[in-house]
Amino acid sequence: MRKALVLVALIALLSPAAGLSQDGRKTLEATGKALGADSLKSLQFSGTGSSFAPGQSAVPGAPWPKFNLISFTRQINYETASVRDDLVRARAEMPPRGGGTPGMGELRQILVARGDHAWNVTGETSTATPIALVERQLQIWGSPHGFIRAALANSASVSGRTISFASAGKFMVKATLDDQGLIGTIDAVVSNPVVGDMPIQLSYTDYKDFGGVKIPMRIRQSTGGFPTFDLTVTDVQTNAAVDVQVPDSVRQATMPYARVASEQPAPGVWYIAGGSHHSVAIEMQDHVILVESPLNDERATAVFAETRRLVPGKPIRYVVASHHHFDHAGGLRAAASEGITVIAQESSRAFLEQALAAPATVTPDRQARAGKKPVVEGVRDRRTMTDGTRTVEIFHIAGNTHGDSLLMVYLPKDVSWWRPTCSRRRRRMRRRPPW
């Protein structure tokens, strides 16, 4: 409750007042001049430090898993609204706890956005990731120099040393100036598929002058109250050549999370794939049990529609949430909006109850519009669901390092078992469950 009240207060604080006054414009222009923002068209900086995986904690409510940034380079082009991160990271904690890649060793990631497109690059393949768009846009317009540009363009509200504005449907931001009149912190609220309104804070310190442009040499970020990024900058290039082009495959990837492909491994059981995160629909006598509602509203809506096509005339009564990680739980708010009961491991029940009831004011989702009270039922060690013709058994996988709340679904009549799947895991159908 305390966190909810703090977030409501933060949203109220960030909500911009009337248009930009003459004094407000003077403050913005003075801050921009002190930063050298007018002469900065693009920026490249590199460094080392730490990153964290938001929404991937081993235990609900715990800090995000930590990674060491072996190398990190960010390129920003303010004129084309583009950003490109090229990084190599490795687990900071051994043995690994929680989600996020890599599990072991080092992993290179290239994370890109331009305009209204976001994508990841792996080798020669570019994969559209619109779910990451707003956060990557925030890295552009939440940087000190980008903030000044965006504040002037969005008629920001200025009060003393604070400057705030909203980007409709994306985020609300408030900057606080430091003692030198430079941007010290930026507090933002963005929309998250699991928890609704999500607070993000960016902190900038240790400014250095590069040819009249002041750049912070220490950049820190927190998300949901936990650290997500801590970089010590070691190299800066102002007005570097930053040319980010949107690949054709990304431009053509409209509504990628809505693609579904289903197959029937057993009578009355359908495996719903077509994307990075998959689901299973199980037909009961007078209803359907859906295992997993991942990613976001778009994916959930498509999975619900496919389930109803496969099993017409029977309502989806339950969704079994494999675990609390944001990518797997991102469609549970959509389930709550339809009055579908969520079944989760007992340790994540309270977290999900609060998350599914939380407000989503920046970008209202299906649950925010429906205003339904979520129903979450907990499973401790085991739960059996049966209608007399089919039995569904749900087991807690205790002690799993990926997530303490992991559930597995077992269909004894169909001699099959299922566990959560994503891009690195494939469905497994065996003659016996793995215990």
- Take residue 395 and report the two structure tokens written for it: 């087991």
Task: Delineate the domains of the chain, giving CATH numbers in brackets.
Answer: 2-250 (2.50.20.10), 255-418 (3.60.15.10)
What is the pLDDT at residue 428?
44
pLDDT one-digit tens code per residue, 302-312: 999 999 999 99
According to the model, what pLDDT value does residue 8 have?
A: 46
Residue 175: count of CB within 10 angstroms of its CB: 27
DSSP 39: G
**pLDDT the model gives residue 210:** 97
* Degrees to nearest 5, angle at CA 197 with 336 and 57: 80
Contact 320, 394 (CB under 8 A): yes
**Low-confidence residues of the chain: pLDDT under 70:** 1-20, 415-435
Q: What is the pLDDT of residue 107?
A: 97
- H or E stretch covering 208: strand 196-210
**Token pair of 382, please?**
């085991």
Q: What is the pTM of this model?
A: 0.91
Q: What is the pLDDT of residues 256-273, one digit of tens each?
A: 999 999 999 999 999 999
Can you give the pLDDT at residue 22? Answer: 80
* Structure confidence at residue 7 (pLDDT): 53
Bridge partners, residue 109, by sequence: 87
